[in-house]
Amino acid sequence: MVGFNASDINKIIENVIFTHLKTAGYEVTAGQIGKKQTDFVCEKQGERLYIQAAYMIPDDKVRDREFGSLLAIPDNHPKKVVTMDPVTGGTYKGIEHVHLEQFLLSL
């Protein structure tokens, strides 16, 4: 393999998250509200969880895109953005920002 394409790592991260969710017993679909897409809508035993996956959030434009799709969802179910950013944790407008490793260990 020659070179590096950031979209490849995004797809790998999405596949890791999807496989982990399915192994944990979640029903997983994708969601869309208007033009905004949500990577994972997860349901298990009547509980719902929304997840966005991204390699990193290097600037405001990416942050607005990744968190914005979850902010557009009008319910109060948990929402997470999972990344490989070295600094994660905390929330942005009520949405959890979680490192991929921590996410995999938490479900």
Rounded distance between C-alpha atoms, residue 92 and residue 47, angstroms: 22
Q: What is the pLDDT of residue 107?
A: 79
27: pLDDT strictly greater than 70? yes
Q: Which of 24, 29, 27, 26 is nearest to 39 (CA)?
A: 29
104/36: higher pLDDT = 104
Rounded distance between C-alpha atoms, residue 11 and residue 95, angstroms: 22
What's the burial of 103, exposed, middle or buried (CB within 10 Å: 0-12/13-18/19+)?
Answer: buried
Q: What tens digit of pLDDT does each residue of 29-64 get? A: 998 887 888 999 999 999 999 999 999 999 999 999
Q: What is the mean pLDDT of residues 86-106?
A: 90
Rounded percentage of the chain residues whose pLDDT exceeds 70: 93
Q: How many of the other CB atoms lie within 10 Å of CB of 5?
A: 9
Q: What is the pLDDT of residue 48?
A: 96
What's the pTM value of the predicted model, to 2 decimals? 0.88
Q: Give the model's confidence band at 2: pLDDT under 50 very low, under 70 low, under 90 confident, else very high.
A: low
Q: What is the pLDDT of residue 81?
A: 96
